[in-house]
Structure 1
Amino acid sequence: MELFAAVAAQVKVHVVMPMDHISDVVVNSGGPIEKFTPEAVKINGGFYFRDRFEFRTEI
């Protein structure tokens, strides 16, 4: 549901790879969600698997 809200609001979403015992790694510094499916999210022309990455917005 959060991804749908981010699409509707056109907010900047960051793509983050969570790392064990290390700081999280920002993979894409962000942009609006262009498309999402149950498996992946498209941001800035790149597809990111939902089970491998986290998607965060700025508060």
Structure 2
Amino acid sequence: MNAGEKLPSRSQRKPIEREEDDTYLPPRKVVHPSERGKWTRIFYVTLLWLFVILVIALTVWGIKYSS
């Protein structure tokens, strides 16, 4: 490329086409999907059940020792 040659603008360039061959690797997110959503759901369900058990335990304890 000479200093006098101009490059075409981005809108005039042709997109680079990828060839699908045997060496193509999919993105990491496809091969190893994140489990963050699954663990977040388990965490919140566990918190909910702990809260329910606490309320029931305190209610039973209050009724048992109120008299």
Instruction: Tell me if both proteins adopt one fold, taking TM over 0.5 as the criterion.
Output: no
* Structure ranking higher in helix proportion: 2
TM-score with structure 2 length normalisation? Answer: 0.15
Q: Which has the higher contact order (CA 8 A, sep 6+)?
A: 1
Relative to the length of structure 1, the TM-score reads 0.16
Which of structures 1 and 2 has the bigger CA Rg? 2
